Amino acid sequence: MKPRIYVTQPIPEKVFQLLAPIAKLEINPDAEHIPTKHELLEGVHRNDILFSRLSDVIDADVIRINPDLKLIASMAIVPSAIDVPEATARGIPISTVPPLTTEVTADLNWALMLAVARNVVPADRAVRRGFFPGGQSMCFLGTGMAGKTLGILGLGLIGEAVARRAGGFGMKLLYHKRSRLAPGKEKEIQAEFVPFEELLRRSDFLSVNIASTGETHHMIGARELRLMKPDAYLVNTARGKIIDEKALVVALRSGVIAGAGLDVYEHEPAVDPGLIELDTVVLTPHLGSATLQVREAMGAVVVENIIAVIEGRRPPNICNPEIYS
C-alpha cells in the first residue's frame, strides 16, 4: 500500500511527477492559501508523511495529532516553524533542504535595493493611472547606486553573494559579523570589517543577511535606525524578527531613514499596516526562493528525503539525527 502524503501547497510539475508513482498525494491546490491550523491538523491526521513549507507552523498539536506520522519533510533550510523537540521526543524525523537559495535571494536583495532607491513602485503606479510627467521632470527623483557604500550585516553565503554583485556598481563594501573573515577572504571580496555601529553610520544601503537567533532578535531597533544616515536605505531578505517593525515604521514616517525594501516580516504572513501605507517601502511576500528552477531543486531534495524514509533509511538531510541513535 502506498504511503499517504499531505502536501500543504502546490508543487512544481517535475516534483509531482517524482512523488506521484510512489505515494498517494493529498495536495492543497491553492498556492495563495497557507493552511490554517485546523487544516494542518486534519491533513496530518489523515496521512503518513507531511510535506511542509516555510510558512507552515508545525507545533506540538499538529505533531501529536497522528501517532503514526512517519516524517515531517520540510522544504525549509532551517525548520524554525517546527517544534523540533516535540517531533524528536516522538521519534519523528524532520528533513530539510540544503541552502539552494543563495543566488536567487541575492538577486532579490538587489531588486529590492534598486526598486526602493529609484522609486520604481510608485512610478509604476503613476504610469498605470495615466500620470507621465516627462523624462526630465523633478518627479520620482531617486538615489543612484554607483560609488555608494553598501553595508552588509552578516556576511554568510547570501551576504557574500550580495557583496559580489556590488562590484558591478562600483560600491564600497563594509561588513559586520560575529566572526571576522580571514584577511585573504576579505581581500577577495574587497570588503572592510567594521564594528556594528560604524556599519550603521557609514552605510548608504544596509543589507540584512544575518541569521535569526535569540541574539539577533530586534538587532535593528529605534536606536540603531537613528544611527543610520537620513538618506540611507535598509533592505532585509533574511528574517523579519531581526528588525523591530514598529520602530521601522516610525523611522520611515519621520524621515530617520529614506526607505526600505522588505521580503520578510516580523509576524508574517501579517504585515504591519504602517508599512503598507508608505511609498518609501517596497514589499514582497517572502520571494527569496521564488524561481521555478530553485523550487524544483528544493522539491527534488524533499522527495529524496521522503523516499529514504519510505525505504526504511535515514533521510540524507535530517535536522534531528539523534532519533536514529
Pair 108, 190 in one domain: yes
Q: Which is catalytic among the residues 86, 268, 296, 304?
A: 268
Pair 119, 190 in one domain: yes
Residues near 102 by beta carbon (within 8 Å), at least 6 away in sequence: 157, 158, 161
Stated pTM of the model: 0.92
Pair 200, 260 in one domain: yes
- CB–CB of 49/69 below 8 Å? yes
- CB–CB of 290/111 below 8 Å? no
Q: Which is catalytic among the residues 53, 239, 245, 295?
A: 239
Pair 181, 232 in one domain: yes
286 included as an active-site residue: yes
Pair 265, 306 in one domain: no
d(CA 173, CA 163): 7
Pair 136, 268 in one domain: yes
Pair 38, 54 in one domain: yes
Pair 82, 118 in one domain: no
Pair 114, 262 in one domain: yes
Q: How many helices (DSSP H) and strands (DSSP E) are in the chain?
A: 13, 12
Pair 111, 45 in one domain: no
Which residue pairs, CB below 8 angstroms and at least 24 apart, start in 217-225? 217/241, 217/242, 218/242, 218/243, 218/244, 219/153, 219/243, 220/153, 220/244, 220/247, 220/248, 221/247, 222/247, 222/250, 222/251, 224/200, 225/251, 225/256, 225/257
What does each of the 325 residues of the chain score in pLDDT, given as a tens digit?
Answer: 899 999 999 999 999 999 999 999 999 999 999 999 999 999 999 999 999 999 999 999 999 999 999 999 999 999 999 999 999 999 999 999 999 999 999 999 999 999 999 999 999 999 999 999 988 889 999 999 999 999 999 999 999 999 999 999 999 999 999 999 999 999 999 999 999 999 999 999 999 999 988 899 999 999 999 999 999 999 999 999 999 999 999 999 999 999 999 999 999 999 999 999 999 999 999 999 999 999 999 999 999 999 999 999 999 999 999 999 8
For position 317, which CATH number holds?
Answer: 3.40.50.720
Domain count, the chain: 2
- CB–CB of 52/82 below 8 Å? yes
Pair 172, 89 in one domain: no
38 included as an active-site residue: no
239 included as an active-site residue: yes
Pair 106, 10 in one domain: no
- Which domain does 219 fall in, by range? 102-283
- What is the side-by-side strand order in the sheet with 24-27? 24-27, 4-7, 49-52, 71-74, 94-95
